[in-house]
Structure 1
Amino acid sequence: MAAVTTSKKRKRDPGVSFALSDQPPTQLGPVLAGGPCHNPLANFPSVKPTKSTPFKCYRTQKKKSDNEEVPFAETPLLIAGETEAVDFYSSEETRRASVGSRYLVGVHNKRTGITTFQAAPLHILTHEVKALKGLQPAAVSTLQRLEARAALGETFGTKKAQQAIRAQERNKVDVSAMEGVADHLQEKEAKANADSTRLIPQYDADALNPSDAYPLHNMIPKPEWKALSISTYMAADNSASRIALLPFKRSNWINGHLSLIFASPSPNKTTVKILVYISAMMSFHKATFKKIDKTDIQQKLSAVPGVVVDGLLSRFTETPRGSMEAQKTSENETMLLTHMFALCLHVDDFATDTSVLAADLSMEPMKINILFKSLGCRVNKLTQSDLKRLGLPDAAGEVKRAILKTPLEFPKPHIRRRK
């Protein structure tokens, strides 16, 4: 029987062909991203995010017009992502790395043998450790540099260099005599830093009159001031009717001042307007205590003009990057309260009974006093001259009040003295 032979034929390689993507150039597409190194396409040579780390793409410049169409690969973008410990984002190298080059991403289809190329922007990513944000490297003083240089010279220098170092040591100034000056400069630097980061309204440090220290429209922007109407308050027949119109009706401080103003034959309209705004701030404070629900806030402040509600939301809440939900941080909370208390000082002729406000806001009097002190107030009993100026009886002198004096004096920052 003849042997059966089988021949193995090689499968022909269908070959590879190339094509450009037929998607519109303005459509979102792939992005090339990597860490900084000699090869810009290398993936994260140091800190590397996990594969599950989400990245988002943000446009850094607004369109000049709705009809403007810019290819996706040429659109000014920012790529950002984060893990629990590290932030990743486009670095300044991105623009330099892309100059004079064009990058394409190829996708190969095994079935058709076609590799399709599509233009893609290049982004060089950098990273920042969240726990180290805000920390500045310790500055190296001239004295430290000289000491390090002297130590190197003593160890490795020639005899001539070592003699020069010893001569310099003999002529060195006694720095202990300068410790007082150094402490003064340290205090001055700490004060300047504290002044630039105070969570209070904009102020005039050179004001000679308390009414000029915190100008009214630094707390109530002019558009919001113009939008407030007090005509219904002026037309109301009694205190109960006026209180019913307020955004926040459970404030003894506001209700007492409102009754006192309308006891006068000619009520001060400016003060009434300030009281209505403070009432809106108190209602906003209560409505945002746990979470920010814009619909709920608008319902609770339905009697307040929309421009005022929007202004409070924009100035005293913030929206984290990559989120659509606003939130109120402790800094936002402090700013809201100090703006409110600066307005209270205007109403009280710059001597406010803080205990009543503490009860209205369900806060500890000590915390309220600290916030008034941050505005430059001193919490003391009124002197006889203060009582006379404010038209108050002698009995009012037993109550401690937050009193604003000029020129402004803020609490001194705590600094560590050098041992």
Structure 2
Amino acid sequence: MSDKDGKKRKRQSNGVPAPNKKTHIDGQPTGTAKVAISENGLPPVIGSAPGLSVPQISFKAYAKASGRAKDSTKIKPDTHSVILHSTKHPKLDYTATPAASESQTAHYVAVYDPKAQKLQIVPSHHLNLRSTLRTENQEVKDNQQKRTIAQQREQLGQEFGTKKSKKAIASKTLNAITKGNEDGKSAEIENAILETMADTTANDQNQAQLAEAALAAKPIPKPDMSADNFEDVYPLNTLIPPGDMRLVQVKEWQDKARAEEPIMFNNRFSAGRVVAIGKSDDVNKLKALRYLNLLLDFNAALGTAGRSGKKVPKKDVLSKKLEAYPEALVDSVRRRFSESNELNKWHQDYLYTHMCALSLYIDHYVTDISNLKDDLRLENRQVGQYFHELGCRVGPPTEKERETRGMSKAQAAATRIAKLKLPLDFPRPRMMRKR
């Protein structure tokens, strides 16, 4: 209330004078408190939830070490970032993340013990709590997953699809298909891609099986298609069976070659290489030369049978012509390269390709086909075709090879060199024209 003159009057007291100092509260500590900073144990978390009413739910904590972390096992606010997440609410998901604006701000929690008069300061994390509707999160994840699968299908279509599927994908990209037509068009593209992939896979498997079967039916030694070295394409144990390898005798050739004594041959190929190989310590190569010489003598001993076939002579006649070789070895060659003592076109090609493969092994997979051409009494084109069937490239010698072999230009023009190349390239089968 106020007086009549308009001035406020003081409140009436009850006779007790007002104190000049604050009232003393019982239990309030007096004296000096000890302050200590503690970093033992897990640091506490200070959470801010502006505009949210957080229910009583539990959170799961996730920590990640930063680049400044030296000891990843000890979690500190300055070396680790912490995230809290909870899915305990029936409809909402709660996530507490560090505030980006407070990356340079440190937060602490102080705990005072009045009995011991100690103030403990603990570094703490400061997080901002947000909530999201769970159904919305699930829809976002589903859309991202669908988009990822669609992109993968389009990529597969671009790599392995047919012209139809590639055209559909390009049309979708260029014409900016609307949302209403996107689902139907995507389904059409996916179906086209899946059908194409199934057809392509089946065709690839069929083509691989047909190619393998066609290669197995060829009259050539069985090659190793996965070989990385020349020696592994036609290994010696494939060209010469182990049983025949033990029967091949080379001691006489080796002794005469080292003593420089003459060795009589019916074949130019063996005569031109026996001295160099016999003086070396490569017994396997000398055995390969001896076995090739046997095949050349065996081919020369064959008689004619029909228009294109050849016939193996009788046993006593064959043994007399090949008396320089063990009888068991001659009989093994007869059974290997003939059927019922006859060689049709397939068996002859099988014999010739083995000779060519042995010549590649002896000449380190680069051989002059002239000697074999003369020994087999064939043309360059025919012998070259046999080397082609083995995966070789046949052509005239290079200028460096001509100089190394001491050949004139005229001789080089009439010479053909067979070289085994990796990866193997076999000639394609000829297609018969339809009448």
So what's the TM-score if we normalise by structure 1?
A: 0.48
Larger Rg: 2
So what's the TM-score if we normalise by structure 2?
A: 0.47
